[in-house]
């Protein structure tokens, strides 16, 4: 009986959060190691489906770096990076599209639909959703088909999310030349959240959040401000792949998004634990 009462208490704890988020949009970036474990992947898909069923409108942006690297290596193409960005020549761009659009996107759509949701897979090229320009060479290195977002046209997302559908977006944009460009998925999620004026932006990663000291889990920061973020970037504590995550959060906040979160996506039901519990997990980035 105590176990049953505890479950009821958990539902009651979630009630004010459900009321506050009802009818609102939550942008979720899903990628990295959270995509590797089938068990963890299942709990994330369950969380996303549950959000829709209780009246919240999730919008999913996915990455796929590890899967892209694996496919490139199978094709005897060496993955190359510069300052954390993938150098994407035409051959690599073809592989990126094949993996992101043809495999990962459709796998996520199938998983959500199997659980009773109605997911729709799209890319940033559909309806000119994400319009980009080519990133200029950095330190003399040409990144190839890597895009910098210039405009997000959210009409399609607005229509889908207000209805019964869950948009699932591959981070590929369209340039003025009509060609496809690879974009960092964290940046895409931040820009989409900003353009939609979403209530929340949730970025799933493979660490618990932002720490004051590297390699010291006990220094996890529950809430961090923009000033603190730049301080930790300058100290080199926020580095590598965490930089586009925090910048995506700050961009979203500057455009009216209420809350942004960086969570460990390898924790089962991380989304539900963060959104619907008093304590939460991970790091909330705020102005």
Mean pLDDT (the chain) is: 89
Q: Which is more confidently placed, 280 or 191? A: 191
Condensed to tens digits (0 to 9), the pLDDT of residues 78-105 reads 888 887 778 899 999 999 999 999 999 9
Helix, strand, or coil (residue 248): helix
The answer to whether the CB of 281 falls within 8 A of the CB of 270 is yes
- Bridge partners of 152? 130
Nearest to 205 by CA among 171, 241, 230: 241
**Domain coverage including residue 166:** 23-286
Across the beta sheet with 180-182, the strand order is: 147-152, 130-134, 172-174, 180-182
Listing DSSP states for 131-175 in one string gives EEEEPPPBTTB--BSBEEEEEE--HHHHHHHHTT-EEEEESEEE-
Residue 14 maps to a domain: no
**Given this model, what pLDDT does residue 73 score?**
92
Angle at 190 between CA 192 and CA 222, to 5 degrees: 140
Tokens 């948009």 — which residue? 167
Q: What is the pTM of this model?
A: 0.91
Where are the strands (E) in the chain, listed by range? 25-30, 57-62, 81-82, 85-86, 119-123, 130-134, 147-152, 166-170, 172-174, 180-182, 200-205, 223-225, 259-264, 283-286
Residue 261 maps to a domain: yes
For 123, 228, 250, 258, the CA distances from 223, given in Å and listed in that order, are 32, 10, 13, 14
Return left, alpha or beta for 127; rule: phi > 0 is left, psi -120 to 50 is alpha, else beta. left
- Bridge partners of 123? 170
Q: What is the total count of domains within the chain?
A: 1
Residue 12 maps to a domain: no
Report the alpha-carbon distance of residue 276 to residue 236 in Å, rounded: 32
Residue 52 maps to a domain: yes
Report the alpha-carbon distance of residue 122 to residue 161 in Å, rounded: 13
Residue 9 maps to a domain: no
Neighbours of 40 (CB within 10 A): 19
CATH number, domain of 163, equals 3.40.1160.10
Residue 13 maps to a domain: no
Q: Which is more confidently placed, 112 or 38? A: 112
Residue 7 maps to a domain: no
Condensed to tens digits (0 to 9), the pLDDT of residues 162-215 reads 899 999 999 999 999 999 999 999 999 999 999 999 999 999 988 888 888 777
Report the alpha-carbon distance of residue 96 to residue 23 in Å, rounded: 34
pLDDT band at 26; cut points 50, 70, 90? very high
Residue 116 maps to a domain: yes
């Amino acid at each position: 009986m105590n176990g049953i009462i505890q479950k009821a208490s958990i539902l009651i704890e979630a009630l004010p959060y459900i009321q506050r988020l009802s009818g609102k949009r939550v942008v979720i970036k899903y990628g990295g190691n959270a995509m590797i474990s089938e068990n963890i992947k299942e709990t994330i898909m369950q969380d996303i489906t549950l959000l829709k069923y209780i009246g919240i409108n999730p919008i999913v942006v996915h990455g796929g770096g590890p899967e892209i690297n694996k496919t490139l290596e199978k094709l005897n193409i060496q993955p190359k990076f510069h300052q954390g960005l993938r150098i994407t020549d035409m051959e690599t761009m073809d592989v990126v599209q094949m993996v992101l659009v043809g495999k990962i996107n459709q796998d996520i759509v199938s998983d959500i639909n199997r659980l009773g949701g109605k997911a729709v897979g799209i890319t940033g090229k559909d309806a000119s959703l994400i319009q980009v320009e080519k990133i200029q060479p950095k330190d003399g290195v040409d990144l190839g088909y890597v895009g910098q977002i210039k405009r997000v046209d959210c009409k399609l997302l607005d229509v889908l999310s207000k209805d019964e559908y869950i948009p699932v977006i591959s981070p590929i944009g369209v340039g003025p030349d009509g060609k496809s460009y690879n974009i960092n998925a964290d940046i895409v999620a931040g820009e989409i959240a900003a353009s939609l004026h979403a209530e929340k932006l949730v970025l799933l990663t493979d660490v618990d959040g932002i720490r004051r000291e590297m390699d010291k889990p006990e220094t996890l920061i529950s809430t961090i401000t923009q000033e603190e973020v730049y301080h930790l970037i300058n100290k080199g504590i926020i580095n590598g792949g965490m930089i586009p995550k925090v910048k995506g959060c700050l961009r979203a906040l500057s455009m009216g998004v209420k809350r942004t979160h960086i969570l460990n996506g390898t924790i089962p039901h991380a989304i539900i634990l963060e959104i619907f519990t008093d304590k939460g997990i991970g790091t909330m980035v705020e102005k």
